[in-house]
Amino acid sequence: MPQPAPPESPRYQQIYRQLREQILAGHYPAGTRLPPTRKLAQQLGVARITVSQAYAQLQLEGYLVTRPGAGTYVSPLLAATPAPDQPVQPALSGWGQRVVAHTHEPERPAGPPPSAGLIDFGFGRSFPHIFPYDVWRHLLARYLSTDDVMLSRYGSVAGFMPLRAAVAEYLARLRGVHCTAEQVIIVNGAQQALDILARLLLDPGDRVLVETPGYTDAYALFAVHGALLQPYPVDEHGFPVETIPAGATARLLFVTPANQFPRGGTLPLARRLALLRWAEAANALIIEDDYDGELRYEGRPVGALQGLDKTGRVIYLGTFSKVLFPALRLGYVVLPPALVAPFIRAKQVIDRGAPTLTQAAVADFITEGHFERHLRHLRHAYGQRRQQLVCALQERLPAGARFSPEPAGLHIMLYLPPGRDEAEVIRRAAEAGVRVYPGAAYHLEQPAPPAILLGFSGLSETEIEEGLRRLAVAVGDGVIG
Amino acid sequence: MPQPAPPESPRYQQIYRQLREQILAGHYPAGTRLPPTRKLAQQLGVARITVSQAYAQLQLEGYLVTRPGAGTYVSPLLAATPAPDQPVQPALSGWGQRVVAHTHEPERPAGPPPSAGLIDFGFGRSFPHIFPYDVWRHLLARYLSTDDVMLSRYGSVAGFMPLRAAVAEYLARLRGVHCTAEQVIIVNGAQQALDILARLLLDPGDRVLVETPGYTDAYALFAVHGALLQPYPVDEHGFPVETIPAGATARLLFVTPANQFPRGGTLPLARRLALLRWAEAANALIIEDDYDGELRYEGRPVGALQGLDKTGRVIYLGTFSKVLFPALRLGYVVLPPALVAPFIRAKQVIDRGAPTLTQAAVADFITEGHFERHLRHLRHAYGQRRQQLVCALQERLPAGARFSPEPAGLHIMLYLPPGRDEAEVIRRAAEAGVRVYPGAAYHLEQPAPPAILLGFSGLSETEIEEGLRRLAVAVGDGVIG
């Protein structure tokens, strides 16, 4: 029988819902006669009309039938309800099987839950106290008015045009990218651009040249699309293009020229030009991931590889996650003209475009000068933090450990002396209250050289200093240095 | 020679950029000696240090080389720059070729640009004056503070947990969905959920049963994944499950039980149960698209098909686009337990999750009661508009035209008398200042019955009345009725 229920929705809906559950659970088998409305109303202490409404709704939906003069019955249809069964295990497609094979469970914090005092050298976090939230609130509020029809319609698939134009202008001026606003497509994070490119360009069995260590999230995506990854170990100047065998062909090459991820290092002009020559000869396309090209702390950022490309072989990826905030989930891709239409069609059929409000606010953030001002603040703040980390590393970690001197990026990849046990270092560090991350996750070659990744963009200078002190203590007995 | 440039960035950067462009364009061939810094500085009217900085940057990037005592030269490397060529036409993958074959260019307004007086019966728009922007602004601002670290980290792939819990609770109470919060995954619009499901479940050649008329955007997605579409013409009670041949198998069936899209009509219980039996026998999964299940204007919404499913064969899709605003780009999917892990891995590798800020605001919007209050306002406002449209149609469009009496949804699909020319009606309407949309776009059977789609959710009652007046005048000479 229906039970008294909380008061927040009309009483008849509760009676309806409980009767429905009981019918579906088989408590009232098909053909059962229900109590007359008057009687049930008395039992439940409600008005008869309330029960009548519930019966009427159930009748409307087909659960109950009335026989004139003979009362209300559970529909005979319900006898045919499939019996409770084992849950189905649906078969996965080839793509679905690859996604399970080539990815891991989304990261969950390992070990004990983070304590308040834990210092976490997580990568890719932004430092919340730097972002000008007051400006951002103001820009969002500008579009959140009842007079504005922008939010009441679906946006443009390729992105909000003023944002595309602002990005094109910004990239031309500060990154040396050659493009029109039409070549700029706004995506839900750079990873989405990679996904669409992989779908458009890769058939199972296609070869993709990648860096190692490298951006393994991208590689997982290529592998899920069935690509054969061909890893090239980078040196301190990035992708070793001269080691590609003559005549080797591939569909794609993925590269981080501005600051090799995660090792660090800028690809010199000679290698850039050689990459373009190779792509021409191999009939390949190059994906240039400029994930943090803006974040260089000395000298001027080196221009994009895309700016050297004259034949439309370079696809340029950028993101706002690093320079605004990660939770924004907004990135952009600059496409060769021949790929613009297929890319837009793919995005159209996939998700119909990124949220308009955020795009409008970012567009204003750029065109009104907040973005470059914010970048200056970021460069200053992150440059100081990197310097702090570098000094602490030099002071506390003696010979044998090494890292790139490139004054750029949001992390340092610390290579441990050969033979050290990376997992052991990470475990001991955790015990000492400092979380560092495994370099192995970024290496495709086996065995990978032992290394840990130290992201500094979410920490204060005091935390960096204290974190390194703990790290040195934790591993001081010979594990590092 | 470099030209004077606008003053907004340091002068040396402008000189650097112009020299770089000229080198890349071949104006300074490899090996050319550049003017001494002193001389160029005089020519440009800048300090010598400015030119030196520009040269230094170009040298750092490898464009220039200095020979001690002999001046500055364009690097010999640049002789090897690939000559300007025809732009590349990259070959597309199988998927890429299908996306071009099965989709069309994103919609652009046909005909003359919209005039201020145009009345547009576009579908899927929300009425901007109804949404409580003040509440929304307040909820967003709550998370936009410098004390909040939420925005400075990447969010959870499966979605912001409080939102998943709020959706599960809401769906159980108002849509009769059976699920835990863990089965609810937040997506960037329902279309993204379909894309991920298609990838996980469909191999080229798999059969998918669909409604016609129907949600052709979903069908395009299935076709792009290589599926074979098997359309079933619906009647006034939705999917005609009894016409599926005995023994027919399929991988998926796509259905809109609450209110068949776009014809209108609710799937009766008998057909719902038959669908579940068929899915069991055919070893198929069912995608239930509950795109506007909340928007019923008389009686209580009929519960979801998912609530009848005991074996995990029904996947439930919902969206906030219709009931909050389209530009939000946020939807959700309720998965059978066996599909949760593969789905999350796919979303992880594709885009890493939806924006956290919006999710947090929507969660609060639901749990603090704004959502149901807003739904009541919407039902009232849209119910009145639908009634207005129904009255106007009954008054102005005589016998032969018909539409579903289902008191639900955001549009009416108006079937014209057989033999009428749909395109002609739309053209004449446009001339009279009213935009209506072709029914043919939603039909897979050929020839499709002539029909036009009238979305009313973006119009005021006055506009609806005036729009119908214009439509009747435009087509009054025998095209309709």
CA distance B184 to chain A (A): 16
A23-32, A103-112, A232-241, B427-436, range with the lowest pLDDT: A103-112
**Rounded to an integer, what distance in angstroms lies between the CA atom of residue B212 and that of residue B143?**
44
pLDDT (tens digit per residue) in B91-108: 899 888 988 888 877 655
Which of A11, A75, A93, A241 has the highest number of chain B CBs within 10 A, making it the mutation to test binding with B?
A: A93
Instruction: Find the closest chain B residue to A23 by CA distance.
Output: B308
Residue A173, number of CB atoms within 10 A of its CB: 15
Interchain contact, A24 vs B308, CB within 8 Å: yes
Paired residues of B402 in beta bridges: B415
Contact (CB<8Å) A93/B199: yes
pLDDT digits (tens, 9 = 90+) for A445-470: 888 899 999 999 889 899 999 999 99
Residue from B53, B88, B146, B187 to probe the interface with A (highest A Cβ count within 10 Å): B88
pLDDT band at B113 (very low <50, low <70, confident <90, very high): low
Taking CB atoms and an 8 Å limit, are B60 and A302 in contact across chains? yes
Nearest to B208 by CA among B257, B252, B255, B256: B252
Q: DSSP label at A114?
A: P
Q: Test B87 with A311 for CB contact under 8 angstroms.
A: yes
Check CB contact under 8 Å for B308 and A155.
no
Cβ <8 Å between A77 and B221:
no
SS3 A455: strand
Judge whether B257 and B406 are in contact, CB under 8 Å: no
pLDDT tens by residue, A252-305: 999 999 999 999 999 999 999 999 999 999 999 999 999 887 788 887 667 899
Q: Measure in Å the smallest separation between the Cα of B157 and chain A Cα atoms.
A: 7
CA-based nearest residue in chain A for residue B89: A338
CB-nearest partner of A358 from B136, B321, B355: B355
Best of A88, A97, A323, A367 to mutate (most B CBs within 10 Å, chain B) = A88
CA gap A104, A219 in Å, rounded: 13
Compute the distance between CA of residue B338 and CA of residue B285 in angstroms, rounded to an integer: 12
Q: Cβ B342–A100 below 8 Å, yes or no?
A: yes
CA neighbor of B215 nearest in space, from B444, B455, B378: B444
Chain A partners of B120 at a C-beta cutoff of 8 Å? none
Nearest-CB residue to A200 (from B87, B92, B303): B92
Q: Flag if B154 and A321 touch (Cβ within 8 Å).
A: yes
Nearest CA in chain B to A226: B93
Distance from the Cα of B398 to chain A's closest Cα (Å) equals: 30
- The alpha helices in A368-421, defined as continuous H runs, are 370-396
- CA of residue B290 relative to chain centroid, distance: 16
pLDDT in tens, A72-102: 999 888 775 555 567 788 889 988 898 888 8
Cβ within 8 Å, pair B63-A217: no
User: Is B106 close to A158, i.e. CB distance below 8 A?
Assistant: yes
CB contact under 8 A, A87 and B338: yes
CB atoms within 10 A of CB A406: 20
Percent of chain B with pLDDT over 70: 88
* Cβ distance of A199 and B99 shorter than 8 Å: yes
Task: Flag if A327 and B277 touch (Cβ within 8 Å).
Answer: no
Residue B172 distance to chain A (closest CA, Å) = 10
Residues 6+ positions from A368 with CB-CB distance below 8 Å: none
Which of B62, B270, B348 has its CB closest to that of A106?
A: B348
Q: Which residues of A are less than 8 Å from B127 in CB distance?
A: 152
Residue A92: closest CA among B251, B313, B185: B251
Residue contact B103–A349, C-beta within 8 A: yes
pLDDT of residue B151: 56
Of A331, A327, A322, nearest to A287 by C-alpha is A331
CB spacing of B191 vs A350 below 8 angstroms: yes
- Sign of the alpha-carbon dihedral angle for B124, B128, B132, B136: positive
DSSP secondary structure of A316-346: EEEESTTTS-GGG--EEEE--HHHHHHHHHH
CA distances from B472 to A17, B267, B386, B464, B469 (A): 44, 32, 17, 12, 5
Amino acid at A14: Q
Selected residue of A18, A74, A99 to mutate for chain B interface (largest B Cβ count, 10 A): A99
Taking residues B288-295, report their average pLDDT: 86
A317 pairs with which residues across the strands?
A289, A333
Residues of A in contact with B201 (CB under 8 A): 90-93, 96
Q: Using a CB-CB distance cutoff of 8 angstroms, which residues of chain A are in contact with residue B169?
A: none
Q: In this complex, do B192 and A312 lie within 8 Å of one another by their Cβ atoms?
A: no
Inter-chain touch B345–A75, beta carbons under 8 Å? no
Q: Which residues contact B120 (CB under 8 A, 6 or more apart)?
A: B114, B434, B435, B458, B459
What residues of chain A lie within 8 A of the CB of B376, using their CB?
none
Residue by residue, DSSP assigns A125-186 as ---TTTS-HHHHHHHHHHH-STT--GGGS---TT--HHHHHHHHHHHHHHH-----GGGEEE
**Predicted confidence (pLDDT) per residue in A183-228, tens digit:** 999 998 888 999 999 999 999 999 999 999 999 989 999 999 999 9
Give the strands of the sheet with A437-438, arranged side by side. Answer: A411-415, A451-455, A437-438
Q: Which residue of A has its CA nearest to B270?
A: A77
User: Looking at beta carbons, which residues of chain A come within 8 Å of B96?
Assistant: 199-201, 342, 346
Query: Could you tell me the pLDDT band of residue B80, with boundaries at 50, 70 and 90?
Result: low
The nearest CA of chain A is from the CA of B415 a distance in Å of 25
Contacts of A80 in chain B (CB under 8 A): 273-274, 277
CA angle B444, B449, B451 (to 5 degrees): 100
DSSP three-state, residue A251: coil
**Beta-carbon separation of B152 and A126 below 8 A:** yes
Tens digits of residue pLDDT in A172-192: 988 889 999 999 999 988 889
Q: By the 8 A CB rule, do A437 and A121 touch?
A: yes
Instruction: Choose among B87, B104, B269: nearest Cβ to A63.
Output: B269
Q: Kindly determine whether residue A345 and residue B103, on different chains, have CB atoms separated by under 8 Å.
A: yes
What's this model's pTM, rounded to 2 decimal places? 0.86
Rg (CA), chain B: 30
Would you call A92 and B201 a contact, using CB atoms and an 8 Å cutoff?
yes
Mean pLDDT confidence for A125-143: 77
Q: Reply yes or no on whether the pLDDT at B320 is more than 50.
A: yes
- Contact criterion met (CB < 8 Å) for A93 and B192: no
- Closest chain B CA to residue A202: B93
- Considering only alpha carbons, which residue of chain A is nearest residue B322? A152
What is the arithmetic mean of pLDDT over A5-34? 78
Closest residue in chain B to residue A135, using alpha carbons only = B144
pLDDT in tens, B404-425: 988 888 899 999 988 889 999 9
Min Cα separation A261/chain B (Å): 18
In this predicted complex, what is the ipTM?
0.83
Average pLDDT, chain B: 86
Task: Select from B87, B374, B244, B163 the least CA-distant residue to A285.
Answer: B87
Phi, psi of A115 (to 5 degrees): -90, 165
Beta carbon pairs, A and B, within 8 Å? 352
Q: Which of A385, A410, A398 is nearest to A465 (CA)?
A: A385
| pLDDT higher than threshold 90 for residue B141 | no
Q: What is the rounded average pLDDT of the residues A121-149?
A: 74
Task: Go through chain A and tell me how many residues it has.
Answer: 481
In chain A, helix, strand, coil percent, each to 5?
45, 15, 45
Least confident of A327-336, B218-227, B280-289: A327-336
- Inter-chain contact A128–B149, Cβ cutoff 8 Å? yes
pLDDT band for B452, please (50, 70, 90 cuts). Answer: very high
Across the interface, do B308 and A87 touch by the CB < 8 Å criterion?
Answer: no
HEC states along chain B?
CCCCCCCCCCHHHHHHHHHHHHHHCCCCCCCCECCCHHHHHHHHCCCHHHHHHHHHHHHHCCCEEEECCCEEEECHHHHHCCCCCCCCCCCCCHHHHHHHHHCCCCCCCCCCCCCCCCEECCCCCCCCCCCCHHHHHHHHHHHCCCCCCHHHCCCCCCCCHHHHHHHHHHHHHHHCCCCCHHHEEEECCHHHHHHHHHHHHCCCCCEEEEEECCCHHHHHHHHHCCCEEEEEECECCECCHHHCCCCCCCCEEEECCCCCCCCCCCCCHHHHHHHHHHHHHHCCEEEEECCCCCCECCCCCCCCHHHHCCCCCEEEEEECCCCCCHHHCCEEEECCHHHHHHHHHHHHHHCCCCCHHHHHHHHHHHHCCHHHHHHHHHHHHHHHHHHHHHHHHHHHCCCCCECCCCCECCEEEEECCCCCCHHHHHHHHHHCCEECEEHHHHCCCCCCCCEEEEECCCCCHHHHHHHHHHHHHHHCCCCCC
Q: What chain A residue is nearest to B150 in terms of C-alpha separation?
A: A327
- Specify the long-range contacts of residues B415-418, CB closer than 8 Å, at least 24 apart: B415/B439, B415/B449, B415/B450, B415/B451, B416/B449, B416/B450, B416/B451, B416/B452, B416/B479, B416/B480, B417/B450, B417/B480, B417/B481, B418/B449, B418/B450
Identify the pLDDT of residue A218: 92
Nearest-Cα residue of chain A relative to residue B176: A17
Residue of B nearest to A304 (CA): B61
